[in-house]
Amino acid sequence: MPETKALLPAIATLAASAMLVQSIANDFIPDKLWNYFYSGLHNISRHFSSQLTIVIHNISRHFSSQLTIVIDEFQGLFPNEIFEAAHAYLGAIYKDAKEKKLAVSVDRGEELADVYENVQVKWKLIYVQVKSPFARHRGDLNASLRQEARFYELTFHKKHKEKVLNSYLPYILERSKEIKREHKEVNFHTVERRRWFPDAVKLDHPMTFKLLAMDTELKKAVLDDLNNFINGKEFYRRVGKAWKRGYLLYGPPGTGKSSLIAAMANHLNYDIYELDLTNVNSNSDLSKLLFSMPNQSIIVFEDVDCTIKLKNGEPRDESRRNNNKTQVTLSGLLNFLDGFPSCCGEERIIIFTTNHKDRLHPALLRPGRMDMHIHMSYCTTSAFKQLAFNYHGLCHHNLFTQIEGLIREVEVTPAEVAGQLMKSKNAHIALQCLFDFLLEKKIQHKGEEES
């Protein structure tokens, strides 16, 4: 320790001298020599006390011609826009450099060089293990929900600092938007251990509004509503509302609720985040999941009447007495839908699905929470024609009139109609199977009424 104290005045003198000569020395001493000196000081620092290590680190950082900026994945509870932009931008560079069409991002620990207006920069993706469930990684408040925290290191020459901050990073933000539009894939996300599972699955669902077997007028109404939503940024700002939209899909099983969600996701090019409330422990965890979702996304509560007991008129503490492990309450879910947490993001679609609309609490159904109620009914004649065209390319057939008449008389789901049409590749045989199936349903229903 005495030797360390004796060295401190000398180190301080060295630092003062460095400040005087740095501007001259940088013009005459090559960067490689400075970097060699910089790494040497780090090696020396390992042999002295922590106090001296700090002093040497500061001096070495002062002498180095390189500047490193750290870009965390999250800022507090919210995704860092610059991190997401850099991830998309560097993924495109990585594909070009490696000539691999399947590469989508930089590997962990790998350095990637880039040049912008003759300025050379280096990027490195760093992973840090989160050791404690209560740990925080710098300003990343979501780190406790993940096993690892990620951040990028961006390194460049100090003299280019202004250009990097004021020109290069804004360029990456704009370029990443173009890349996302060009290469966006719709992904499917689920919850695991109170967080979104990091490895999303590509939603390779071919359903579109053009193929969707749904009442024609209702399908047009839904499509128009979605288009008004995605083009409504200025409208939502003008009226002072959060840029989000809620849809309630209700009706019997097999009426196409999941197909409609897939068509919406493909039309908007939004990822789907499926949230089973039985996997969420508390209202706080529910809010954290919302905070960690990106903009331009769809969150789906499938069979919401089954996953949590929030019935009309139940006592306030009923959700705590049911058999589910979840402690999410009605007030917590309402706050999720239109409270302050719901305002922390833009262009979000919230979808509830249920087979029994009457089982949902009225507070969940009002405008502002569920803005559009979509009744997914039994098969209509227009939906049948769409299915006949999808499966057999038919627009007309001599059995159409009889089948349409039966569809008006019996309750049959689009899924049941599709099942009959798939029984044969021969269009006439398939339609005959459907006709016989509908006729049997009619006879069975008539017999039940008479008995």
User: 119-142: per-residue pLDDT in tens?
Assistant: 999 999 998 887 765 555 555 555
Does 279 score more than 50 pLDDT?
yes
Element (H or E) spanning 337, and its range?
helix 330-338
- In-domain check, residue 3: no
47 band by pLDDT with thresholds 50, 70 and 90? very low
Could you tell me if 260 and 301 lie in one domain?
yes
Measure Cα distances from 440 to 40, 398, 429, 433 in Å.
87, 20, 16, 11
My answer on whether 173 and 218 are in the same domain is: no
- State whether 367 and 385 are in the same domain: no
Answer whether residue 111 is part of any domain.
yes
171 & 57 share domain: yes
My answer on whether 153 and 224 are in the same domain is no
**pTM score, whole prediction:** 0.63
Q: CATH number, domain at 228? A: 3.40.50.300
| Predicted local confidence at residue 140, as pLDDT | 55
Distance CA 194, CA 144 (A): 10
Task: List pLDDT tens digits, range 308-359.
Answer: 665 443 434 444 444 455 678 888 888 888 877 777 778 899 999 999 999 8
Query: Residue 314: helix, strand or coil by DSSP?
Result: coil
Last residue of some domain: 122, 155, 183? Answer: 183
Same domain, 224 and 287: yes
Res 266: pLDDT: 93
pLDDT tens-digit series, residues 373-421? 999 999 999 999 999 999 999 999 999 999 999 999 999 999 999 999 9
Within this chain, do residues 159 and 240 fall inside the same structural domain, yes or no?
no
Considering the domain architecture, whether residues 392 and 357 belong to the same structural domain is answered as no
- Residue 16 belongs to some domain of the structure: no
- Helix (H), strand (E) at residue 289: helix 283-291
Please state the domain count of the chain.
3
Boundaries of domain holding 123: 24-131+146-183
- Predicted confidence at residue 50, as pLDDT, reads 40
Same domain, 168 and 89: yes
Is 14 part of a structural domain of the chain? no
**10, part of any domain:** no
Give the count of beta carbons closer than 10 Å to the beta carbon of residue 403: 23
pLDDT of 317: 47
Q: What confidence category does residue 160 fall into, taking pLDDT thresholds of 50, 70 and 90?
A: very high
Please report whether residue 19 resides in a domain.
no
- Residue 102: predicted pLDDT: 38
Task: Burial-class residue 54 by CB neighbours within 10 Å (0-12, 13-18, 19+).
Answer: exposed
Residue 316 lies in a domain: no
**Residue 113 sits in the same domain as residue 28:** yes
Q: Is residue 137 part of a domain?
A: no
Give the pLDDT confidence score for residue 434 in this predicted structure: 96
Query: Distances from the Cα of 152 to the Cαs of 40, 42, 126, 308, in angstroms?
Result: 25, 22, 6, 40
420 shares a domain with 369: no
What is the model's pLDDT at position 56? 43
Q: 340 and 436: one domain?
A: no
